[in-house]
Chain A
């Protein structure tokens, strides 16, 4: 897509009716409620274009070893600038609390940021989180001065424990990471949203725009996604779709949907019928 076409579709800011609705995480204020990952793209240039089209202000990044055989290989930061985006280092791929803490300490040293995404996996096939390790790692990180946004199961009790531990955002999965299956348990997501006093973001499972809208209509404060954009046939256009879906879902939540009825209710008045 051309820049012009993207601007036409996605360049319009949220309507004035949304007022100054903002996402606030750990005292930081964001206009966009969409957080995107930076993995799985064809190259960093496509990644940067998708990030721009999505309107996201936060991007997740991974911490990995420098390739010693080719230290001059293209670097993420040369395309997606930490000056423009809030970098959210994540612990994807960590299976123990110690690995996660070690990874994020290195991330803090490399970038100087204390706002992080904690993710401790429990199973390679489902990438389902190990909640016992997640909770333990969250405690260690918070004691060490980190502000922890936490990927978790959609269990409201665990979500509450993570919040009580001091996590600054609760991020339950909508469906397994990279599955694109959509929000599988809207009841639990709603329960987590209702009880939480910190932002709740659906992290993982979104497949297309309507999934993101569903998450926002449930009252989530935001959505984090990667594969849904990166693996779309046209990632830039899907980034635009996600931008609109999140805004639309948020507006619908704030507007308050109509009640559901079992039967029809005519929209035109019955009085004065000929």
Chain B
């Protein structure tokens, strides 16, 4: 299964949940926000939502930034 994460193609052995994806990428879920096909995925749904082929995922966090 192929999905896009932050603009990069990722080949995964499906099926995989959002939580599973974070583990695979080595990202701690507490400090990020996730968008799946332009829809925000609530943290409470990370376990239950299973990714589908072609999904476009954005994983963002806070960085330094000003005015």
Contact = CB atoms under 8 A, between A and B. Distances in A.
Given A75-B31, A110-B33, A225-B67, A68 B62 contact: no
A167 B48 CA distance: 37
Given A37-B67, A68-B6, A71-B27, A106 B33 contact: yes
Interface in A222-257: 224-227, 230
Given A65-B6, A102-B38, A226 B67 contact: yes
Interface in A81-100: 87, 89-90, 92
Contacts of B33: 63, 106-107, 109-110
Interface string A201-236: 001100000000000000000001111001000000
Interface residues of B, number: 26
Task: Sort chain A's interface into a size bin.
Answer: 35 or more
A64 B43 CA distance: 18
Given A105-B40, A106-B58, A62 B27 contact: no
Contacts, number: 112
B67 A60 contact: yes
B61 A41 contact: no
Query: Secondary structure of the A side of the interface?
Result: mixed
B8 interface: yes
Interface string B33-67: 11100101011000000000000001111111111
Instruction: Give the 5 A-B residue pairs with the shortest CB-CB distance, closest first.
Output: A37-B66, A62-B65, A226-B66, A110-B33, A38-B64
Interface of B: 5-8, 25-27, 31-35, 38, 40, 42-43, 58-67
13 contacts: A40-B64, A41-B64, A62-B63, A63-B65, A65-B59, A71-B25, A76-B62, A102-B38, A106-B40, A110-B61, A110-B62, A224-B67, A225-B67
Interface of A: 36-41, 44, 47, 60-66, 68, 71-72, 75-77, 87, 89-90, 92, 102, 105-107, 109-111, 119, 151, 177-178, 203-204, 224-227, 230
